Every structure is written in structure tokens, then in C-alpha cells.
A = this chain, B = another copy of it.
Amino acid sequence: MDAIDRLDRIIHEPARLKIMTRLYVVESGDFVYLARTTGLTRGNLSSHMLKLESAGYLEVIKEFVDRKPVTMLKLTDKGRQAFIEYRKNIFEVIEFSE
């Protein structure tokens, strides 16, 4: 089984790869900010968010800031681990074609 077969398809999908790379470098990010910076529509972001959540990669936290509801997204430890694994594999894929 080569590195491509080990690629996590949940993460490999470009929109989700985008969400994962952005959340990986922060503690958590709010939904509206994430929609704006990824360029995904809110509907699209929602559905990919659900997919990542059901894989156990993402945690959705509803908070109130100044009495306004805010949806915060945060990678779980499992999600961070899966992302590190994905990076290792995709790097291997690229390297071998050098």
C-alpha cells in the first residue's frame, strides 16, 4: 500500500483541506471568519464542517459574545493527529515523484 492509498479522503477534499489547514494553526476559529477567509459559502462550510465533525476531527462550540451567538470551530486531538498523518503521506507522495 503506497502513500496515496493512505491519504485520508476526508481531509484530502479541497474545501475540507482548507478548513483543516486554517484551524490547525489556531486554537479555534469562528464560523463567520472562516467562511470569509476560505471563500466558502456558509452552506458549503456548514456541510463540510458536519462531515469533519462526524469524523471526530472537529468540535463545534456555541458561545455568546456580547449576547450574540457565535459558532466556534476547533480541531480535536484526533483531528490534529489525522492532519499530521495526512501531511506526512502527501509529502511522501510528492517526494517520490521528484
Contact = CB atoms under 8 A, between A and B. Distances in A.
A71 to B, nearest CB: 22
A87 interface: yes
A12 B9 contact: no
Contacts of A20: 97
A24 B97 contact: yes
Contacts of A21: 4, 93, 96-97
A-side interface mostly = helix
Interface string A22-63: 001100000000000001000000000000000000000000
A4 B18 contact: yes
A10 interface: no
Interface of A: 2, 4-5, 7, 9, 12, 14, 17-18, 20-21, 24-25, 39, 83, 87, 90-91, 93-94, 96-97
